Amino acid sequence: MTDWIQETIAARAETLGLTAYAVAQQCEPPLDPGTVKRYFKGRCRLNSEYVGRICDVLGLTVRPGKRVSQKPGLQPVQHIGESTKETT
């Protein structure tokens, strides 16, 4: 499974011209640059606290949205408040 959040974060850092070291040092409190570099390269996962701190530096916001199934034959997840009735 692709970690699209990690890919988006790494791409944003690259777009801004920021290295993993620069991002790590700008986090409050600073993160280990080696950990951030491994995360950018997809070699490790980070908890939501660390991801949030990195997103703050990069000007990104993670928010919930609709989840769509990527496997054939499965239906998208229904969120609270969505209607299951089809419009005619």
- State mean pLDDT over 13-18: 97
Class of the 1-88 domain?
Answer: mainly alpha
Convert the pLDDT of each residue in 29-71 to its tens digit: 999 999 999 999 999 999 999 999 999 999 999 787 776 555 5
Domain borders along the chain are 1-88
pLDDT number for residue 81: 47
Measured CA to CA, the distance from residue 33 to residue 21 in angstroms comes to 5
Tell me the whole-structure pTM to 2 decimals: 0.71
